[in-house]
Structures are given as C-alpha cells and as structure tokens.
C-alpha cells in the first residue's frame, strides 16, 4: 500500500466536484480583487529603507525581540561580546556565516557548530544559538531562517537565547517578498524554512503571556547598518 | 433524540448554570477581543483581505484533485513518503506500521486537531507506544484525561490552581503560583522528552501545492522541536488544507494569527518539504505525510456547504459565539467546537445524530461576520436544519398544522373558543412551567403575556359603535 487509498479519494473528489459551488465570498462589497496583490490589504509597509527599519524595530518591541543596531562588522563583535557578558554565556552553538564568523570566534567560548555533524545533547547544553537568516520582514517584525542560512533546523530553536546577525540590506517588506528571497537564495524553496516572529511564547495558562515556552526565551537581532 | 443529543443537552444545561465557569470564559476571551480589534485596525482593508483569503481557499477546494496530486508529487520529489488515508483507521494503522518498521518506542506529538479527530494518540497507545503531547495546553488536558476545550486554546477553562494541582499530582512537581513557573515546569519535562523521542507527529495548517510544503503555525516552538529532533516524522494533513501557491500564505499566515490569537503573526510558521536533504546536518531522516479524507469528501459533495472546507481552524467563530460562551467547549462532545464544529460535525459523523448542534444556535451571524475566510456559517446551520427535517420529518408537525388550519377556517368555532381561552388564562398562569402544564417545555423558560380584556374583533366593533 505505497499510496494508500489515493485513487479512491481522488475518485470521490472528482464525483463531488461535478456540482459547482457558488462563489459566495465574491458577492457584495468586493471590487477589483484582481487589480491588487492580496497582500496589499494587509498592514501597510513603507517603501524607504529607514522607515522599514523603524517599522521592524517597532514590531520587534511589541514582540519583545531585542534589536541592537551595529554600525559595521566590528561593532557586531563588540555587541556580541556584550551579550555574552550580560547573559554569562559559557558555551554557544553557531554555524559558519560571513556576518558572524569573526564575532563568534572573538568570544573565545566553546562552540558547537551545527553545520557539521553534532550531538543534540551538546547543543541543548549551550546558553545561546548564534545564526544568520535569509531575511528580516518589516511588516511582521519577524525573520526567515532555512537550514543553509541558520545552521540547520535546530540551532534557532533549541538554545534558550537566539541571536541573529543580519544586515539592513536583508530587510524586506512582507511575506511575499520573503518568499521571493527564498527563491532567489535557494532556487526553489528548500525542505525546511521557518518564520520566527519573536521569542517563543505561550498563553495557555489563563491567557497570560509567558516567554520561552519550549523555544528560546530571548531573541536578539544584531542589525548591521553598513 | 439521539444519545449524542441527550448528552449535549445534559452537559449544556449543567455548564450554563455554572456562573463561575461562564464568568471565567468571558474573562479569558475579554483580552482577545481588545487585541484582535487592535490588530485588525492595522490592516489596510480587513474585509478585502478576507475576500482574498477566501478566494485562495475557494480555488483550492474547488480544484482539490488537481492540487492534491501536485502537492503529493512535489513532496515525493524531495523524498517524502505520501500516504492517502480514506479514514481514521487507515491513517492510524499506517502510522503504527511506520513506527513498527522504524523500531519506535516514544512519540512526541505537537498539536493536531486532525489527530484528535481520528483519536490517533489513543490508537498509538493501544499499539504499545508512548505518546506525549508537547503543546502546553494539550499536555495539561492530556494529564487530566480531558479532551481539548477549544481548538486553539485547549486549556482555557482551567485556572492556574487547577493546573498546579494536576502537575503536583501527575508530575510530582513542587507547588507553583504563577503561569510562568508552571510553564517552566512543563518546559523542563518536555526538554527530556524531545531528546528521547524517536518519532515526531505533527499536524499542518496549510499545504502548498506549488512547492510541496506543509506549513505549521505555532507559538511555543514545540512543533519546531517535534518536527526536527526525532529521526522519524509523520505529519497528518486533512485534504482540505491544501492551497495552490506559496504566495497564498503571505495573506493566510497573518490572517490566521490575527483571527486566531489576536497576533500580527504567530511566533513560528514553519515550512516542511522533505526529510533531511544532502548537505543538511539535522532534521528527520524519514518524513511521512498522511493525507486524510475521513468524510471530508462527503462535505465536498454538498456544494451548498462546501465552503466549510475553507476553514483554517483559527477558532475565531468560537470566540464570538454566544452559544460557545455559555455552554463551553466540552458540552459539544465533538472534536471541533463552536459554529464551525456545528456545521462540519454532522457531515463528518452523521446528520441525524448531530443535527441538534444546528438547532443550538441563535443564528445571530457573529460567526459568519468574524470568519477570516468568509464561511457562511449561520446559513449552513439553517441548511442543516432543513436537510435534517427533510430526511426525517417530525411526525406530529403535519397533524398539528392541519388541525390549526381546520380550526382557523371556521369563524364560528373561533368566536366560541377565543373567550374560553381568555377565561382559562388565570389557570394557565397558575400552572405555567409546572409539571402539570402540558406546555411546560416551552413555558418553563418563557413569559406568558397577560390575556387582553377583549379580542380584536370586539375592540373593532366597540370602536366603530362609539363613532
């Protein structure tokens, strides 16, 4: 039974679809649906880079993502060292990526590299995961990671603090723009991609917000301006 | 009356009278209303966005064969095994066989309502496997042996004190006062489970035909961990979850977040298109996608109500429903509660056994108005009433109406009977709602207006006589 009941289900579907359903949602107030991209109805995104950065920062603040702006690559090393000091990191997980290589090795901490074979238990003991990303999304205050851009599927979610190093040039407007980046970077969307929009959270107990339900309690974005 | 209907009426009656419970649900939803409206206000045009979202789902559902085949082929191209299950038993049997073949003992599960629908955890436990829920709310209700209270907020009916009790009893944890402390207890337990588990099970919020991905929406990170740490991953996907294009998610993901949990975007929205690929260092080595029918094609065949398959399971219709807010989630006795549950359950489990849900509605339309994909929910409830009655007419309705017609066609009889009824009015008032009142089913919870001193006929005669 490699496919299970594939043909049976497709047969049922084709029989069911012989009768056409009314497109009730198109009746009434909607005009010119086809003249717009559907995402145009979502929260507006400004077009200038400076305004997009400030929208990203505002959304991050609401999500409790910390954004630290860095003037250049050397400023990244300084900020990362400051984070390591403030949070008393003893070991970190990371992977090899242009924006982070120098700053990560300058920390002088033991590093579990996840872009080479590694033990889950070793990564689980790390105090922070430091990664890159494919892009940042102004509209949502989120970021998009893939295995290639963020050192695999686990680094960005297992350690209790996730630090993302990204350049302002990686900031895009909305999710559709982010999908375009996926296609540009990988040819076609890869087997794993995830939008991360703020640190892990839950409201399952009395609808009260608690950060760090299963994923990182803290999310920091080091935004390189140059 | 069906057994399901009797159970429903008993539970609904009990919970409606539990004022504390009702106040608790009102409070839990109060914050949601405020934040949801704030989020909606940020949209350039929420109504147009709803139409766009509905258009994407309409296209998918009305060309379901085409998009499912495309999805299946694209998933398979990256090494995913796709299994088509006609019903829950087929799905559970397949997943158990995958577990057996891979030597699986422990399963970590992230939230899947489709899994609830087919009682997947119970079936796997019967096969000798350990199944742990990783979503915090699901974990709590699993420990308590309860079904989820709400499709999005499974433990919304519980106070921190009740959850603390459960944790102390079942986990042997120390007393905890705050949601923060309780969450951290669960986090600690779960960390170990993730590393031990050899199989992960997830659901899916969407499946993208164009690129061959499933899309999982969550806030906690438990689905990320459950889908990337264990060596085997199985995702169970209702066939209606498919959308044609990746760009459709650019609208559907934010709208699901706004309608479902009053968020701009849910914390993690993950696309999974295959097991660990060449060049990847982690992720499952086996990935199975189970496409589940389980009578969804029966709903598809009802063109009038087909748009109920547009549902993205955001739970918004539950949150605004006056019935849900009064009778609570457990009274429904269904996997899917609230208006959407009342619409789809009769299709999934049988109209005659579940028609009572269609009648348990004020038809206020709040559900249809809030639905982000514009499902015509309250009209579907009316259609189900009509269908249920057409299929099995109420035997006494016809004689009653012919009797009434016979009576109304005889003016003499009417003139004689009307004053009799007026005379009897004090008696009717005296027994109203009592056990001896033949109409007590109706009058118990309703007023009986006082009888007027004269009939309209007499009034008209007197009025013209004075002139």
Q: What is the pLDDT of residues B340-392, one digit of tens each?
A: 999 999 999 999 999 999 999 999 999 999 999 999 999 999 999 999 999 99
Q: What pLDDT sits at residue B233?
A: 98
Determine whether the interchain pair B267/A62 forms a contact, defined as Cβ–Cβ distance below 8 Å.
Answer: no
Touching check for A51 and chain B: CB below 8 Å?
no
Residues of chain B positioned with their CB less than 8 A from the CB of A61: none
A56, B77 in Cβ contact below 8 A? no
Q: Tell the burial category of B463 from Cβ atoms under 10 Å away from its Cβ (0-12, 13-18, 19+).
A: exposed
In chain B, how many domains are there?
3
Q: Which A-chain residues 72-91 have CB contacts (< 8 A) with chain B?
A: none
Q: Choose among B264, B282, B297: nearest Cβ to A153.
A: B282
The answer to whether position B57 is within a domain reads no
Q: State how far the Cα of B119 lies from the Cα of B164, in Å rounded to an integer.
A: 27
Q: What pLDDT sits at residue A26?
A: 77
Q: What pLDDT sits at residue B337?
A: 97
Touching check for A61 and chain B: CB below 8 Å?
no
CATH classification at residue B85: 3.40.50.10420
Q: Choose among A142, A198, A204: nearest Cβ to B137.
A: A204
The answer to whether position B300 is within a domain reads no
Q: What is the pLDDT of residues B99-116, one digit of tens each?
A: 999 999 999 999 999 999
Tell which of B52, B166, B184, B214 to mutate to test the A interface (max A CBs under 10 Å).
B52
Looking at per-residue pLDDT, the higher value among B450 and A89 belongs to A89
Q: What is the pLDDT of residues A23-45, one digit of tens each?
A: 888 775 555 556 678 889 999 99
Q: What is the pLDDT of residues B411-433, one digit of tens each?
A: 999 888 888 888 888 888 888 88
The answer to whether position A93 is within a domain reads yes
Same domain, B104 and B222: yes
Touching check for B297 and chain A: CB below 8 Å?
yes
Which residue is listed with tokens 């690929």?
Answer: B277
Determine whether the interchain pair A205/B72 forms a contact, defined as Cβ–Cβ distance below 8 Å.
Answer: no
Q: What pLDDT sits at residue A28?
A: 58
Q: Tell the burial category of B47 from Cβ atoms under 10 Å away from its Cβ (0-12, 13-18, 19+).
A: middle
Say if residue A226's pLDDT is above 90: no
Same domain, B104 and B25: no
Looking at per-residue pLDDT, the higher value among B437 and A63 belongs to A63
Name, in order, each residue with C-beta under 8 angstroms of B365's C-beta and a sequence gap of 6 or more: B378
Looking at chain B, which residue has its C-alpha nearest residue A216? Answer: B221
In chain A, how many domains are there?
1
Q: How much is the average pLDDT of A140-146?
A: 98
Q: Choose among A3, A13, A20: nearest Cβ to B303.
A: A20
Determine whether the interchain pair B281/A116 forms a contact, defined as Cβ–Cβ distance below 8 Å.
Answer: yes
Name, in order, each residue with C-beta under 8 angstroms of A73's C-beta and a sequence gap of 6 or more: A99, A102, A103, A224, A226
Determine whether the interchain pair A197/B239 forms a contact, defined as Cβ–Cβ distance below 8 Å.
Answer: no
Determine whether the interchain pair B219/A15 forms a contact, defined as Cβ–Cβ distance below 8 Å.
Answer: no
CATH classification at residue A171: 3.40.50.10420
Nearest to A130 by CA among A89, A179, A167, A92: A92
Name, in order, each residue with C-beta under 8 angstroms of B99's C-beta and a sequence gap of 6 or more: B107, B124, B127, B129, B199, B232
Q: What pLDDT sits at residue B106?
A: 97
ipTM of the complex: 0.96
The answer to whether position A127 is within a domain reads yes
Percent of chain A with pLDDT over 70: 95
Q: What pLDDT sits at residue A32?
A: 54
The answer to whether position A11 is within a domain reads no
Q: What pLDDT sits at residue A33?
A: 55
The answer to whether position A162 is within a domain reads yes
The answer to whether position B185 is within a domain reads yes
Q: What pLDDT sits at residue B160?
A: 96
Q: What pLDDT sits at residue A98?
A: 96
Tokens representing B176? 């905890």
Which residue is listed with tokens 């007023």?
Answer: B447
Tell which of A95, A187, A202 to mutate to test the B interface (max B CBs under 10 Å).
A202
Name, in order, each residue with C-beta under 8 angstroms of B91's C-beta and a sequence gap of 6 or more: B83, B85, B118, B120, B236, B290, B292, B294
Q: What is the pLDDT of residues A158-210, one digit of tens each?
A: 999 999 999 999 999 999 999 999 999 999 899 999 999 999 999 999 999 99
Q: Tell the burial category of B31 from Cβ atoms under 10 Å away from its Cβ (0-12, 13-18, 19+).
A: middle
Phi-psi category of residue B186: left, alpha or beta, with phi > 0 → left and psi -120 to 50 → alpha: alpha
Touching check for A22 and chain B: CB below 8 Å?
yes
Q: Choose among A41, A59, A215: nearest Cβ to B45.
A: A41
Q: Which of B294, B325, B360 is the last residue of a domain?
A: B294
The answer to whether position B356 is within a domain reads yes
Which residue range forms the structural domain that includes residue B460? 411-466
Which residue range forms the structural domain that includes residue A216? 21-224
Touching check for A46 and chain B: CB below 8 Å?
no
Determine whether the interchain pair A197/B269 forms a contact, defined as Cβ–Cβ distance below 8 Å.
Answer: yes
Q: What is the pLDDT of residues B251-310, one digit of tens each?
A: 999 999 999 999 999 999 999 999 999 999 999 999 999 999 999 999 999 999 999 999
Count of CB contacts below 8 A, A vs B? 306
Nearest to A66 by CA among A195, A159, A198: A198
Measure A177 CA to nearest chain B CA, in Å.
Answer: 9
The answer to whether position B406 is within a domain reads no
DSSP state of A4: B
Q: What is the pLDDT of residues B428-454, one digit of tens each?
A: 888 888 888 888 888 888 888 888 888
Looking at per-residue pLDDT, the higher value among B455 and B51 belongs to B51
Q: Tell the burial category of B343 from Cβ atoms under 10 Å away from its Cβ (0-12, 13-18, 19+).
A: buried
Whole-number average pLDDT of chain B: 95
Percent of chain B with pLDDT over 70: 100
Q: What is the pLDDT of residues B202-237, one digit of tens each?
A: 999 999 999 999 999 999 999 999 999 999 999 999
DSSP strand pairing (A92-94 vs A111-113):
parallel
Q: Which of B244, B259, B294 is the last residue of a domain?
A: B294
């Amino acid at each position: 039974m490699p496919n299970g009941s594939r043909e049976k289900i497709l047969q049922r579907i084709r029989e069911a679809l012989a009768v056409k359903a009314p497109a009730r949602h198109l009746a009434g107030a909607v005009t010119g649906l086809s003249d717009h991209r559907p995402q145009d109805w979502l929260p507006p995104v400004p077009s200038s880079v400076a305004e997009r950065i400030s929208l990203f920062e505002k959304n991050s603040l609401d999500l409790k993502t910390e954004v630290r702006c860095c003037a250049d690559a050397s400023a990244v090393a300084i900020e990362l060292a400051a984070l390591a000091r403030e949070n008393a990191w003893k070991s970190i997980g990371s992977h090899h990526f242009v924006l982070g290589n120098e700053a990560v090795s300058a920390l002088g901490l033991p590093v579990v590299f996840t872009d080479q074979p590694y033990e889950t238990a070793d990564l689980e003991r790390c105090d922070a995961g430091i990664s890159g990303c494919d892009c940042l999304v102004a509209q949502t205050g989120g970021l998009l990671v893939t295995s290639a851009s963020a050192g695999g599927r686990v680094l960005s979610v297992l350690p209790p603090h996730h630090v993302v190093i990204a350049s302002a040039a990686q900031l895009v407007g909305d999710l559709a723009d982010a999908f375009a980046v996926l296609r540009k970077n990988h040819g076609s969307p890869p087997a794993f991609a995830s939008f991360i929009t703020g640190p892990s959270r839950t409201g399952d107990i009395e609808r009260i917000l608690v950060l760090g339900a299963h994923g990182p309690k803290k999310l920091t974005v080091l935004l390189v301006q140059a | 009356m069906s057994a399901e209907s009797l159970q429903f009426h008993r539970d609904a009656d009990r919970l409606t009278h539990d004022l504390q419970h009702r106040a608790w649900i009102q409070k839990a939803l109060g914050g949601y209303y405020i934040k949801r409206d704030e989020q909606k206000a940020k949209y350039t045009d929420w109504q147009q966005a709803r139409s766009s979202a509905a258009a994407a789902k309409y296209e998918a559902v009305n060309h379901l064969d085409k998009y499912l085949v495309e999805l299946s082929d694209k998933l398979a191209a990256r090494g995913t095994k796709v299994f088509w299950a006609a019903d829950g038993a087929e799905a559970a049997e397949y997943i158990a066989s995958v577990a057996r073949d891979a030597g699986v003992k422990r399963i970590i599960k992230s939230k899947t309502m489709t899994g609830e629908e087919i009682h997947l955890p119970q079936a796997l436990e019967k096969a000798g496997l350990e199944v742990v829920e990783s979503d915090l709310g699901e974990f709590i209700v699993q420990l308590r042996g309860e079904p989820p209270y709400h499709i999005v907020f499974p433990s919304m009916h519980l106070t921190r004190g009740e959850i603390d009790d459960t944790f102390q009893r079942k986990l042997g944890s120390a007393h905890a006062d705050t949601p923060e402390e309780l969450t951290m207890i669960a986090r600690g337990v779960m960390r170990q489970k993730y590393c031990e588990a050899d199989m992960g099970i997830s659901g899916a919020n969407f499946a993208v035909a164009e690129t061959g991905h499933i899309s999982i929406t969550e806030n906690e990170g438990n689905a990320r961990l459950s889908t990337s740490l264990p060596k085997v991953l199985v995702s169970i996907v209702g066939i209606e979850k498919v959308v044609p294009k990746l760009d459709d998610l650019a609208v559907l993901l934010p709208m699901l977040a706004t309608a479902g949990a009053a968020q701009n975007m849910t914390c993690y929205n993950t696309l999974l298109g295959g097991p660990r690929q060449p060049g990847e260092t982690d992720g499952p080595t086996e990935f199975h996608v189970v496409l589940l029918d389980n009578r969804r094609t029966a709903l598809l065949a009802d063109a009038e109500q087909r748009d109920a398959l547009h549902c993205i399971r955001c739970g918004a219709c539950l949150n605004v429903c006056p019935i849900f807010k009064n009778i609570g989630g457990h009274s429904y006795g269904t996997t899917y509660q609230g208006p959407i549950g009342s619409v789809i359950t009769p299709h999934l489990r049988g109209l005659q056994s579940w028609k009572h849900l269609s009648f348990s509605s004020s038809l206020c339309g709040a559900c249809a108005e809030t639905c982000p994909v514009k499902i015509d929910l309250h009209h579907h409830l009316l259609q189900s009433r009509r269908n249920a009655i057409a299929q099995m007419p109420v035997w006494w309705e016809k004689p009653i109406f012919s009797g009434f017609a016979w009576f109304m066609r005889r003016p003499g009889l009417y003139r004689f009977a009307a004053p009799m009824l007026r005379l009897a009015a004090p008696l009717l008032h005296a027994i109203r709602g009592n056990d001896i009142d033949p109409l007590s089913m109706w009058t118990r919870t309703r007023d009986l207006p006082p009888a007027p001193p004269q009939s309209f006929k007499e009034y008209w005669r007197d009025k013209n006589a004075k002139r």
